[in-house]
Structure 1
């Protein structure tokens, strides 16, 4: 009898050991599966970013082709599509803007998002917006203006600041001029938008990160900033800084200051190298047409010895992970 009990205990002991072993294996497998799920659910949204085209169709075609090779999810155009003075080929502002947008929309079949800069005349821009919607009814594109400012694209809230803040740099026929009250209006639109999206069943519409796009950059702190002009002065807009801090916006794309382009900085205004993942990133891709760039002999001199860029654009990747802060990185593309 004792022997039978002993054998039963031995069998039970073996079963318990097997169960414990299987449990350990299951836990390990579940852990590995969880890690794999995190990788799968990490979403990378890739933007082709271009600014200050100024009617340069040759360079524009080059950059659109590069964006297609990179398989970007969408193109962001950061304003100043036309020249405003001495338009290419003697075209009117309307004609020049139309040629630029048609060049892109006829060749690129993914979403295109546009903001006006300080060169676009407001009335003609809005007229063109309506006409393009009729000409390209099946194409996904949006020309932001001062009434439509916020959308969601692949879990990223795109917040647009149309135009510029200094009237003396606007188109003589009138453009998109913004001030402090403009940001109050954007804030209201964002709040409503976020509230509505909470009930949206489409997973791609859930807001996980925010990207602010504006023609003019935020206020920088040094000569390496994305708003530093040839003299080294920082000419960005502090309203943009305040708005981004208030709304915890970690990513942005800006143009206008051609000579300060072809680089990105973080929220502390420190340079971020290309292809380096960063918790915050504000990109100035540079002018799509040729321009003399900033470069100084050393940090103590205001002597500009910058080389001329043949034109540039950028690739901006925002990495969105499940239940964690996103990261971003960029790469600059230069015209040949």
Structure 2
């Protein structure tokens, strides 16, 4: 608990209010969608996305103006915006996988919103666990930044090497495969329900498998997103709220951007650069605060600069802007087969 609260920008009361507000929004969402499963219109998705983005911006501005600097968050406002933008950009890349999952299971369009919402709730829970673990590790072992940095650099190199080549591939994870083989199941959809009763026997529906797939897949996403944001802020509260705002707007973004994803042909390379930059930042920070006896005799490495948050924010915004503009300009000059070679073929459901 000390690792979470510590010398943080948020008091226990602020933590509690944040959790209650988040829970309230989720409950309202579930009740509304549960009562009327539907595919949101462009106007509805745009309105809700604007609400969540506006809320995130207002929250960040509030931190920038009112939050006092603390040991864990010397610049709360800039740190939040840097973390939120990074998490959001990584989430956009993850939408490729969500699209493939929906297509693989043949999820009816009117049920996709419910599946995404429950998947996002699971993602929040899983990421919350990762955030607690990360905070405890950082509080206890300063050298963990070496591990985070090395992992992000490795992930960046892998992402840059692969580009968009494997975006069209989806391999069912072992947990989902186990559930599909060992649990009594039906292939018939029962609305948005995860379970059904057939001949007096309780069985799982395809919706159960979709939700399980979305939730467990996010565990893999969290392996790079959580270390990445801890490279921008050490305050667990800012890490958690940045993840909340990134994930809460993801469902609306899924229904909005559609074909735009196919035009962001260099997104993977932009994200690879960002992860690499944050990885280097983490390694430099680890050197700057080094305590490992086999590195510089256990002393801090004086020449290692600690990259300031304002520079990180400039790099993040600049990278996302350049990646988006160059992608859109380049894709406009390409034929459909050429774009498919970079991002994978267009999904049939997007043309429905």
Question: Which category describes the TM-score, using the shorter chain as reference length?
Answer: under 0.3
Of the two structures, which has the highest relative contact order with CA contacts closer than 8 Å and spacing of 6 or more?
Answer: 2
Which has the greater radius of gyration? 1
Q: TM-score, normalised by structure 1?
A: 0.25
Q: Which has the higher strand share?
A: 1
So what's the TM-score if we normalise by structure 2?
Answer: 0.24
More helix by share: 2
